[in-house]
Chain A
Amino acid sequence: KNEVEQSPQNLTAQEGEFITINCSYSVGISALHWLQQHPGGGIVSLFMLSSGKKKHGRLIATINIQEKHSSLHITASHPRDSAVYICAVNKGAQKLVFGQGTRLTINP
């Protein structure tokens, strides 16, 4: 079993829908990261969380340390949000453990 599990693996939705991507982890962590990767491209860091909730534009990330669970929400989704979203956790100094990613497709 992977130390970081994401669900769903693939998600297709219509423009405007509310999107939720989930991440569960089984190890002790110091921080959790949500990352975005467009096809063939580099990775953009969206959020780093160690507790609570963060919001940036239409993106919201939450984390529940006790339950070892985090969610990434996208409100009013748009085709440009189509990308792979990756959850990663800091396990020890300078080591990120990555989930398998969620491939999101938003249709117009």
Chain B
Amino acid sequence: DTEVTQTPKHLVMGMTNKKSLKCEQHMGHRAMYWYKQKAKKPPELMFVYSYEKLSINESVPSRFSPECPNSSLLNLHLHALQPEDSALYLCASSQVYTENYGYTFGSGTRLTVV
């Protein structure tokens, strides 16, 4: 299995809703990432987990809450989002020491906040 699987592919939520995005990989990668991508812009790093511990938080608002329950699974919990949070949310994974290894990206969750 050489894929990163993200669910759901599309999500529409209200500003008072609570929802979660899920990301799964079975490649033995011990680093997992959340990126946010607005239209026609490059991805922006949000969070990095390394060995299931949060290693990087790029000053993301607390309405986004990441969770890494095990080495294969990464969640992003969403609460009280704003319309400007509408974007493509991409998950990626890699070996922890990335100098000699590439990244594998998921196909993303297209989030719309109404």
- Chain B residues whose C-beta falls within 8 Å of the C-beta of A45 in the assembled complex: 102-105
Interface flags, B37-48, vs A, CB<8A=1, else 0 = 000111101001
B107 touches A98 (CB 8 A): no
B33 interface contact, C-beta 8 A: yes
Cross-chain contact A40 with B110 (CB below 8 angstroms)? yes
Name the distance in Å between B114's Cβ and chain A's nearest Cβ. 19
Tell me the total A-B contact number using a CB cutoff of 8 A. Answer: 59
Point out the residues of chain A lying under 8 angstroms from B94, CB to CB.
94
- Contact residues, B83-107 vs A (CB, 8 A): 88, 90, 92, 94, 96-107
Scan A1-42; emit 1 where CB is below 8 A from any B CB, else 0: 000000000000000000000000000001101010000111
A48 touches B42 (CB 8 A): no
Chain A to chain B: the 8 pairs with minimum beta-carbon distance, closest first = A42-B107, A98-B42, A43-B105, A30-B99, A48-B102, A42-B108, A45-B102, A94-B48
Q: Which residues of A contact B (CB under 8 A)?
A: 30-31, 33, 35, 40-45, 48, 50, 86, 88, 90, 93-96, 98-101
